[in-house]
């Protein structure tokens, strides 16, 4: 094989010097760094998925249903809010959903705005679709007011705005009034508003979902995932709800037969057994709230969380804290924000391991 470096290849100029998305994948007893649902998959759901996949195995020599009609019906039924299959689109994770939306509504000479710190894939997806990324700003406490967001939109006039709610890495959701104001601000120049609700099932108040805003708002898109609450991170299934015209738009850029028959079968089985899968959501919420309470008792400053993770500050050296936790077999996320770390709410045992290790670190570093 030829010995060649990445920089020796004829890369696009805008990709030179960039780094790919990545979170550390380290084999430790407690892995709570990438907001997975760490609860084991219920046996009956495993069996249901196995049966559904087996049923399509004999037809894998044929292409899958390009329109994944059954899956869209199940997703519409799950979301409710009067949605029909025509309002639904799915792809291989919400990252591909966002990529397709950027391909359609972004591109050369166009821009996408989001408000940092937020999900680190947004600028990477923008780069991959030749869309300029505009980093909007949040307040010092990482919140986002309608007034600030609308003014920034007026200043930059992006073709797309992405609102992560609950926000990653901070975990706090936006008020519906804020989303409404931002949508109206974007409509002044016919822009697209995307609300990324990857963690919606964990919200403190389920009524805050932007799905309630969809009627009469044809430029609004709500993206979701089955990776988190449904414990299907390994299956890669994301989806959105929007006006049927938006689903028609992404058909212009989707790859042929982009959702495999196996992916469709897995997601359909999970949706039909959602009661069993979502039973763990309440336990995850309890562990999240426990983390918030105990971090406060340690003198740290956790943010209000509507997600399955907690973002917290008050650390003199977050890198040292991260390393201490790792040495104890607990992997959390350092997002590079000074004095802050992010931890996924796992099982009760995983949460106890995290809290015990962090408390020991704080006691040691203070002495």
Q: Which CATH number fits domain 43-274: 3.40.50.2300, 3.40.640.10, 3.90.1300.10, 3.40.80.10?
A: 3.40.640.10
Beta carbons within 8 Å of 302's beta carbon, 6+ residues apart:
291, 292, 295, 296, 310, 311, 312, 313
Contact of 164 with 119, CB cutoff 8 Å: yes
Mean pLDDT value across residues 262-276? 97
**Three-state DSSP class for residue 233:** coil
Token pair listed for 298: 């340690």
Beta carbons within 8 Å of 310's beta carbon, 6+ residues apart:
171, 288, 291, 292, 295, 302, 303, 342, 343, 345
Distance (Å, whole) CA 367 – CA 357: 16
String of DSSP letters for 284-325: HHHHHHHHHHHHHHTT-EEPP-SSSEEEEE--S-HHHHHHHH
Contact of 145 with 139, CB cutoff 8 Å: yes
Q: Residue 97: which of 88, 107, 108 has the closest Cα? A: 88
Condensed to tens digits (0 to 9), the pLDDT of residues 69-79 reads: 999 999 999 99
- Decide if pLDDT at 238 tops 90: yes
Token pair listed for 30: 């407690």
Contact of 330 with 30, CB cutoff 8 Å: yes
Lowest mean pLDDT among 10-24, 89-103, 347-361: 10-24
Mean pLDDT value across residues 192-201? 98
Condensed to tens digits (0 to 9), the pLDDT of residues 294-322 reads: 999 999 999 989 999 999 999 999 999 99
**Triad 358, 326, 287: Cα angle to 5°:** 50
Contact of 225 with 35, CB cutoff 8 Å: no
Confidence of residue 1 (pLDDT cuts 50, 70, 90): low
Condensed to tens digits (0 to 9), the pLDDT of residues 342-365 reads: 999 999 999 999 999 999 999 998
Distance (Å, whole) CA 234 – CA 205: 27
Looking at residue 285, its pLDDT comes to 96
Mean pLDDT value across residues 197-219? 95
pTM for the predicted model, two decimal places: 0.94
Token pair listed for 72: 């869209």
Distance (Å, whole) CA 27 – CA 170: 25
Phi-psi region of 107 (alpha: psi -120 to 50; beta: other; left: phi over 0): left
Percent of the chain with pLDDT over 90: 90
Torsional sign, CA 73, 58, 40, 323: negative
Distance (Å, whole) CA 84 – CA 257: 21
φ/ψ (deg, to 5) at 250? -75, -20
Condensed to tens digits (0 to 9), the pLDDT of residues 151-179 reads: 999 999 999 999 999 999 999 999 999 99
Looking at residue 367, its pLDDT comes to 66
φ/ψ (deg, to 5) at 146? -60, -40
Looking at residue 103, its pLDDT comes to 98
Contact of 326 with 28, CB cutoff 8 Å: yes
Fold of the domain built from segment(s) 6-40+278-366:
3.90.1150
Mean pLDDT value across residues 102-113? 98
Distance (Å, whole) CA 69 – CA 93: 18
Looking at residue 12, its pLDDT comes to 87
Token pair listed for 63: 């292409």
Token pair listed for 172: 């706090």
- Decide if pLDDT at 272 tops 60: yes
**Three-state DSSP class for residue 90:** strand
Looking at residue 360, its pLDDT comes to 97
Mean pLDDT value across residues 203-227? 95
Looking at residue 7, its pLDDT comes to 83
**What is the residue extent of each domain of the chain?**
6-40+278-366, 43-274
Q: What is the mean pLDDT of the chain?
A: 95
Looking at residue 26, its pLDDT comes to 85
Distance (Å, whole) CA 158 – CA 114: 10
- Decide if pLDDT at 80 tops 90: yes
Residue 1 buriedness (CB in 10 A; 0-12 / 13-18 / 19+): exposed
Looking at residue 2, its pLDDT comes to 66
């Amino acid at each position: 094989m030829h010995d060649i470096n990445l920089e020796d290849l004829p890369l696009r100029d805008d990709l030179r010097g960039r780094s790919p998305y990545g979170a550390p994948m380290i084999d430790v007893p407690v892995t709570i760094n990438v907001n997975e649902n760490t609860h084991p998959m219920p046996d009956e759901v495993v069996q249901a998925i196995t049966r559904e996949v087996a049923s399509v195995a004999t037809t894998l020599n044929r292409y899958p249903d390009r329109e994944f009609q059954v899956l869209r019906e199940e997703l519409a039924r799950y979301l409710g809010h009067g949605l029909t299959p025509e309002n639904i689109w799915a792809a291989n994770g919400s990252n591909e959903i966002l990529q397709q939306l950027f391909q359609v509504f972004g591109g050369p000479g166009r821009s996408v705005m989001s408000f940092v710190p937020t999900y680190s894939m947004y600028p990477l997806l923008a780069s991959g679709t030749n869309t300029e990324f505009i980093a909007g700003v949040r307040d010092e406490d990482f919140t986002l007011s309608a007034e600030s967001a609308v003014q920034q939109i007026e200043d930059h006039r992006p073709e797309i705005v992405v609102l992560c709610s609950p926000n990653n890495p901070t975990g706090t959701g936006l008020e519906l009034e804020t989303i409404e104001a931002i949508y109206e601000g974007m409509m002044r120049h016919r822009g697209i508003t995307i609300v990324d609700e990857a963690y919606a099932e964990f919200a403190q108040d389920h009524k805050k979902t932007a799905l309630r805003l969809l009627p009469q708002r044809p430029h609004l898109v709500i993206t979701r995932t089955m990776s988190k609450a449904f414990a299907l991170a390994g299956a890669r299934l994301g989806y959105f709800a929007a006006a049927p015209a938006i689903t028609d738009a992404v058909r212009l850029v989707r790859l042929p037969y982009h959702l495999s028959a196996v992916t469709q079968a897995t997601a359909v089985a999970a949706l039909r057994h959602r009661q069993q899968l979502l039973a763990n959501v309440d336990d995850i919420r309890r562990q999240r709230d426990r983390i918030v309470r105990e971090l406060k008792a340690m003198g740290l400053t956790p943010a209000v969380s509507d997600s399955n993770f907690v973002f917290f500050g008050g650390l003199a050296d977050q890198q040292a804290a991260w390393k201490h936790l790792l040495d104890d077999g607990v992997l959390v996320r350092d997002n590079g924000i000074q004095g802050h770390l992010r931890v996924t709410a796992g099982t009760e045992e995983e949460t106890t391991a995290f809290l015990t290790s962090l408390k020991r670190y704080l006691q040691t570093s203070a002495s």
